[in-house]
């Protein structure tokens, strides 16, 4: 039976990759990485570059999860504004968070260039103001970033000038960031995997890991018909963290996001003249960009249950047409979806339990910061904890309600914010 959620434009245009054999024997290594998405691949590659013997376990295939299904938008920062971060955590911690999260774009760019990853990388991202008040907030944030942190790549775009970037949506201005951009996410993941293999990482696909057992000096992991023994473990399974470490499952809830890719558009450059990626400022946001072959890749709407709509293309099309009415009759060639792990405060959740490190809950804002998170965990494995501690010290709470009520209660909270968008 075909996987409707994986019928993606990305999979149809993926670069070549030789499927890796499942783990079917006993292997000793310095570091075991669980998860073959951006975080896990970045961690594995960084560990191997530091001379460690590394094995990576992926339950399905490389980039199978959110890393290979997302909108491909490269948005500097986190879900919180720097004004919020500065007010909540103080200037010293805010500066450290800024250096890591806002500097993530440079790290991704460096990886792409160094390893010659063919992933259709393009520069430019526009945050479009859905309401006039949102634009006021954007202007204050741009001024704060420039004045306090020297972030000078942001341009304030007035409503009268927004047609330089987008013709549609009736937005009330926006912020254009030249250090943002977009790319083909699955090909980025596959490029990281190829670089990791070249650096000596042993990659095993279709090898679902069991809960790691910390034996003090080493950690044991059963996977498939094989096993790993490692000095350190890095878990980077995001929305599936609970499958590996059940006690961490309460820190996130899954939100289903859906995307479509149109047929190639003859008027694509008229819709998005600057070829920037665009995301609006609503809580349940629309986000869209052009592919290299001039398709509109559009994400819109969210679902709080895992069961996908009967018609994914129809579900997303209505959101697309609200922004671009001229596309009402446009053919949709691909429609797909995936789950995003969201924390209560929408900040990533990173931590350590003995020799086991973990990172998840990037809350739909992880295309850039996941690369940094993986590299930071690699540094922590070797004993340099300063950057890891910046993320690990962020406060987090479990979703209330226990095993059966956490998801429904979280859904009610998210629906509340979604309703505010309509007021």
Over the chain, what is the mean pLDDT?
93
Q: Give the mean model confidence (pLDDT) for residues 146-163.
A: 97
- Torsional class of 402: left (φ above 0), alpha (ψ -120 to 50), beta (otherwise): left
- Spacing of C-alpha 44 from chain mean position: 17
* Structure tokens, 243: 């499958």
User: Model-level pTM?
Assistant: 0.95
Q: Which pLDDT score, from 0 to 100, does residue 255 have?
A: 86
112-139: pLDDT as tens digits: 999 999 999 999 999 999 999 999 999 9
Question: Using alpha carbons only, what angle is made at residue 14 by residues 181 and 5, rounded to the nearest 5 degrees?
Answer: 90
In the structure, what pLDDT confidence band is assigned to residue 1 with cuts at 50, 70 and 90?
very low
**What homologous superfamily is domain 1-251+341-423 in, according to CATH?**
FAD/NAD(P)-binding domain (3.50.50.60)
Q: Give the mean model confidence (pLDDT) for residues 218-222.
A: 97
pLDDT at 331 over 50: yes
Distance (Å, whole) CA 139 – CA 144: 9
Q: Give the mean model confidence (pLDDT) for residues 203-218.
A: 94
Q: Which pLDDT score, from 0 to 100, does residue 284 have?
A: 77
In the structure, what pLDDT confidence band is assigned to residue 410 with cuts at 50, 70 and 90?
low
How many beta carbons lie within 10 A of that of residue 132, not counting itself? 10
pLDDT at 304 over 70: no
Asked whether the CA dihedral 258, 261, 265, 268 is positive or negative, the reply is positive
pLDDT at 108 over 70: yes
* Structure tokens, 325: 């009415």
Beta-carbon contacts of 230 under 8 Å, excluding residues fewer than 6 positions away, are 28, 29, 30, 31, 32, 55, 218, 219, 221
Q: Which pLDDT score, from 0 to 100, does residue 370 have?
A: 96
Q: Which pLDDT score, from 0 to 100, does residue 15 have?
A: 98
Distance (Å, whole) CA 39 – CA 373: 6
For the chain, percent of residues with pLDDT exceeding 90: 81
User: How close are the terminal C-alpha atoms of the chain, in Å?
Assistant: 42
Please count the CA atoms within 13 angstroms of the CA of 345 that sit on its side-chain side. Answer: 14
Distance (Å, whole) CA 62 – CA 186: 8
Q: Which pLDDT score, from 0 to 100, does residue 283 have?
A: 74
Find the range with the poorest average confidence among 59-68, 158-167, 307-316.
307-316
Residue with tokens 């004993």: 383
Q: Which pLDDT score, from 0 to 100, does residue 254 have?
A: 85
pLDDT at 204 over 50: yes
Q: Give the mean model confidence (pLDDT) for residues 97-111.
A: 96
Beta-carbon contacts of 269 under 8 Å, excluding residues fewer than 6 positions away, are 275, 294
Please count the CA atoms within 13 angstroms of the CA of 70 that sit on its side-chain side. Answer: 30
Q: Give the mean model confidence (pLDDT) for residues 401-405.
A: 58
In the structure, what pLDDT confidence band is assigned to residue 301 with cuts at 50, 70 and 90?
confident
Domain boundary assignment for the chain: 1-251+341-423
């Amino acid at each position: 039976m075909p996987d409707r959620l994986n019928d993606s434009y990305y999979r149809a245009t993926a670069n070549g990759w030789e499927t890796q054999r499942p783990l079917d024997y006993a292997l000793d290594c310095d570091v075991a990485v669980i998860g073959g998405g951006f975080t896990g691949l970045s961690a594995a590659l960084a560990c191997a570059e530091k001379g460690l013997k590394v094995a990576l376990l992926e339950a399905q295939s490389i980039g199978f999860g959110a890393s290979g299904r997302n909108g491909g938008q490269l948005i500097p920062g986190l879900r919180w504004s720097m004004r919020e971060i500065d007010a909540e955590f103080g200037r010293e911690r805010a500066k450290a968070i800024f250096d890591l999260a806002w500097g993530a774009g440079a790290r991704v760019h460096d990886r792409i260039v160094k390893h010659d990853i063919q992933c259709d990388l393009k520069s430019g991202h526009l945050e479009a103001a859905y309401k006039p008040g949102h634009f006021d907030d954007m202007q204050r944030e741009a001024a704060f970033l420039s004045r306090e942190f020297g972030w000078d790549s942001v341009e304030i775009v007035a409503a009268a000038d927004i047609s330089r970037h987008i013709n549609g949506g009736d937005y009330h201005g926006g912020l254009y960031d030249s250090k943002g951009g977009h790319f083909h996410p699955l090909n980025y993941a596959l490029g990281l995997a190829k670089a990791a293999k070249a650096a000596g990482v042993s990659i095993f696909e279709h090898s679902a890991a069991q809960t790691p057992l910390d034996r003090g000096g080493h950690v044991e992991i059963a996977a498939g018909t094989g096993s790993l023994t490692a000095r350190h473990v890095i878990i980077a399974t995001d929305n599936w963290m609970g499958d590996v470490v059940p006690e961490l499952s309460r820190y996130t809830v899954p939100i289903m996001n859906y995307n479509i890719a149109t047929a190639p558009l003859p008027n694509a450059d008229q819709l998005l003249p600057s070829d920037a990626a665009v995301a609006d400022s609503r809580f349940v946001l629309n986000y869209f960009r052009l592919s290299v072959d001039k398709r509109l890749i559009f994400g819109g709407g969210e679902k709080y249950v895992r069961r996908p709509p009967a018609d994914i293309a129809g579900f997303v099309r209505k959101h697309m047409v609200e922004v671009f009415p001229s596309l009402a009759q446009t053919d949709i060639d691909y429609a797909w979806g995936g789950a995003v792990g969201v924390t209560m405060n929408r900040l990533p959740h990173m931590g350590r339990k003995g020799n086991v490190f973990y990172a998840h809950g990037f809350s739909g804002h992880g295309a850039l910061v996941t690369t940094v998170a993986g590299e930071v965990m690699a540094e922590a494995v070797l004993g340099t904890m300063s950057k890891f501690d910046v993320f690990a010290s962020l406060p987090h709470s479990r979703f209330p309600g226990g095993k059966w009520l956490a998801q429904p209660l979280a859904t009610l909270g998210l629906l509340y914010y979604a309703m505010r968008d309509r007021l």
